[in-house]
Structure 1
């Protein structure tokens, strides 16, 4: 572990990688301008299987309610709320009130990054299974 930390520090010192420290997790990204801060936030959420399924579900069904998301993904309503709090905090999801219900949509700023990130994640998954 100390060798890994050393090499990561050297890569950061030479500006080869950048890091994103959020929620007690330190993530590293190539520092060639490949990923903007917004793209890094999207990629962070796509690493979680449940969050990725939620995002795909909302892309396929914009305006889904909490219960619709829960039914699609197969998780509880409170779990949806927990994930949505993280996603709205990173400005990936926006909430709209529809009477008593809350509807979820992908924010316009994150839509392009999200679609590209999902394709990249699926490509990696396909390549790892071959």
Structure 2
């Protein structure tokens, strides 16, 4: 039969529980190691996201410029389009004003409510873009 004194038993428990306590230096070293492991991945993710957004913006600009030149839009029409861009959820998708009639109609209505733009100039732009007439709205992009 094994008989342990109370003092030796307490010492044994203290040694066992002492293995589970960590000094502030150990904790900070652990956090530093984890962060130094994750930091490159986070940096790479942010870098790729910015690169992807920049590429989307460049493509969007190219599409917009191509459509403007195809539809032969000039000064006042472009100014009107620039005012309408403010009513898009994502201004980088301004080319949709030239392609999608429901997006155009939605932005045109919002602009006419706030800026008192003449319906004649809006109708002239609508015809230049090849849109027939106003149709029921769909949810704009």
| TM-score with structure 2 setting the length | 0.26
Q: Which has the higher strand share?
A: 1
Higher-Rg structure is 2
Report the TM-score, using the length of structure 1 for normalisation. 0.28
Q: Which has the higher helix share?
A: 2
